[in-house]
Structure 1
Amino acid sequence: MSEALQDLLDLLDLEQIEEDIFRGRSRSAVVPRVFGGQVAAQALVAAGRTVPADRHAHSLHAYFLRMGDPGAPIVYTVERIRDGRSFTTRRAVAVQHGRPIFALSASFQTYEDGLDHQAPMPPAPDPATLPTSQERLRGYDHLPPDVVEKFLEAREAIDLRYVEEPPYGKYGTPRPPHSQVWFRTNGKLEQDDPLLHVVLATYVSDMTLLDSVLLAHGRGGWAVGDVVGASLDHAMWFHRPFRADEWLLYDQESPAAYGGRGLGQARMYTQDGRLAVSVVQEGVVRVPRGE
């Protein structure tokens, strides 16, 4: 296991300070605020810690309320909404400086047999044939060195590989609003805890989901200064078991953007073609004033 991956696992391992109250550390992301995927993942950890071990997360719905301060801890309070025979529901609120910055509702279910079908996996090249983040980012002379280093530091624990050029790599000309990345943790995980793998997928899910919005308009994003953005809400459905240390294809598209907001929707597939996760997110996508 890489040191960066161990650091990420430590970041997601919350301290319990009271019944149904947890505290998490924070760190800055590629922008001077807490990375949204970190808050979502930590909130899911907090909710999951209050659920029986035989119940697994099958969905979450969340709102990003305020910008997180990377210099301060985050306190997570969990409300036990429902404990049914098959389903358990929890609500987790992340608080900093006395104000909520994030709210999540998550549902957990005991395993049961049922109907089984899925959308087919779209075509995608083998991840082994694609450049790593290091290889891509080191080749972008138009990006400031500090931006490149921030990207690499933020993704050091995750092996993330774009199928085509990311928005900040090639911009100025609109492209189809569709993006694909392969990802897995940068190292094998010793733990088989299903919640950990779901939490790590949640963490990664906020990294690239709005890329397809930018592609549709030929925008490069914050890295090149032609867009200001932030996540607004986030929803995920976990369909089948998967491992976050094995390749997952993140197939993303944007059906609409309007009113300073853009919508991204996506699916995560295992390398052998099983649909594991569905994701939807809306975010603020604003053009800087003066353009």
Structure 2
Amino acid sequence: MADRTDRSTLLRPPPPDPNKAPIENVLEVTEMAVLGPNIFTNTRKAWHPPGARGIYGGSVIAMCLAAAQRTVADDFLVHSCHCYFLLAGSSEQPILFHVEQVRDGRSFATRTVQARQRGRCIFTTTISFVREGSSGSPQSQVSHSSAMPSEAVPPPDDYDGEPEMMKQSPFQGTKIEVIDPNPGSSDKGERKTRQWIRARGKISGGTAAHLEALAYVSDSYFIGTITRIHRLWRFPFNPEAYENLAPDLKERVRTLHAWEGMGEDPRDMMGQPTLGMMVSLDHTIYFHEPKRVLADEWMLTEMESPWAGDGRAVVTQKIFAKDGTLLATCVQEGLVRLQQPKPEGAKESKL
């Protein structure tokens, strides 16, 4: 068992496998048959992003998918994944993934997975699989697909343009681009964000590992699209305080601000609304071309929001392969609240 001072995994974490891509090590799950059938646990500690309420949601989505894929036949491929975030997960506690074999048909199989910590369900998903080739020949099917934006050009294979602070992620990416077809328009629903991404290293675990990697990255910057299209200030201090930051912190804030597509100078955000709270509520992935997902090659994510209101927002995402194939469509709803004015006489918090 793991050392008593480390409760982040149920078993002692093995050293990373150098023959696998970093994302494969991050998402590895271990079957716990001693606890019952179809129960798995995280092999390594889950990532808790700085400033977040809990562990990164994409890792839970992907590990649930990893567990579910272990319970279906090899010729069944995931085509949809419907998820709900229920409680903030802790990176200091092991996660148990309970897979229920809801249905096994000739063409489709269904699994539900609950991710639990301390006996409480923190996340639940229903995943549907389809048997490869069960729909007949391509000539007997209707077919169409959204096209990748013609102006989107993937970075070179030797791209190394990330800031140093971004290089610890198992995924590599480019600076987020905010597309505004009508500059100056008040219609935020017309704005889009685009980013090229790929897993670092070479994924060795076949189609299942590539699909898990796509599920992981699908949650990256997703509901945060709202902060970009509405230009919301998200740091825990006012833009006016930017000039008074220590030089190293000031540079870090400037780098993050620019990388996320918000502009080169954080001082331009003076007078903009401030984000108070943002939490993902649910997440859906439709895998269109599972056999063509190569997550260690460049993929384009394009995000936009058809609606926001009543303290919530919906964001849609298209993920394209670099050859233009539409690999997946994702939808997420999240809680979005602006920071409310402080009561008169309240003290300003110190940095």
- TM-score bin (small chain): 0.7 to 0.9
Match of residue 227 from structure 2: 214
Match of residue 102 from structure 1: 123
C-alpha offsets along residues 193-241 of structure 1, whole Å, 9 cap, x if unaligned? x121111111001111223322232114357783221111000111112
Aligned pair in 2 of structure 1 residues 103, 125: CA closer, same or farther (>3 Å)?
A: same
Match of residue 162 from structure 1: 175
Q: Percent identity?
A: 31
Is 1:11 matched up with 2:32?
no
CA contact (8 A) 1:75 1:96 kept: yes
- 1:136: how far off? 5.7
Task: Note the 1:70-149 alignment, pairs <5 A.
Answer: 70-112=91-133, 113=137, 114-128=141-155, 135=161, 137=163, 149=165
CA contact (8 A) 2:113 2:126 kept: yes
Structure 2: state its 5+ residue gaps: 1-15, 180-185, 239-273, 343-351
How many residue pairs are counted as aligned between the two chains? 270
- 1:290: how far off? 1.7
Aligned pair in 2 of structure 1 residues 82, 222: CA closer, same or farther (>3 Å)?
A: farther
Give me the CA root mean square deviation. 2.9
Question: Residues of 1 paired with 2:235 and 2:121: CA distance?
Answer: 25
1:162 partner SS = coil
1:128 partner SS = coil
CA contact (8 A) 1:121 1:273 kept: yes
The normalised TM-score by structure 1 is 0.84
Question: Residues of 2 paired with 1:190 and 1:216: CA distance?
Answer: 37
- Which of the pair is proportionally richer in strand? 1
Question: Residues of 2 paired with 1:258 and 1:280: CA distance?
Answer: 16
CA contact (8 A) 2:55 2:90 kept: yes
CA contact (8 A) 1:174 1:218 kept: no
- Which protein has the larger Cα radius of gyration, Structure 1 or Structure 2? 2
Match of residue 270 from structure 1: 321
Match of residue 31 from structure 1: 51
Match of residue 187 from structure 1: 201
- 1:27: how far off? 2.8
Match of residue 297 from structure 2: 246
The normalised TM-score by structure 2 is 0.70
- 1:106: how far off? 0.3
CA contact (8 A) 1:177 1:213 kept: no
Work out which of the residue numbers 181, 196, 205 in structure 1 matches 2:218: 205
Comparing 246-255 with 219-228, greater Cα deviation is found at 219-228
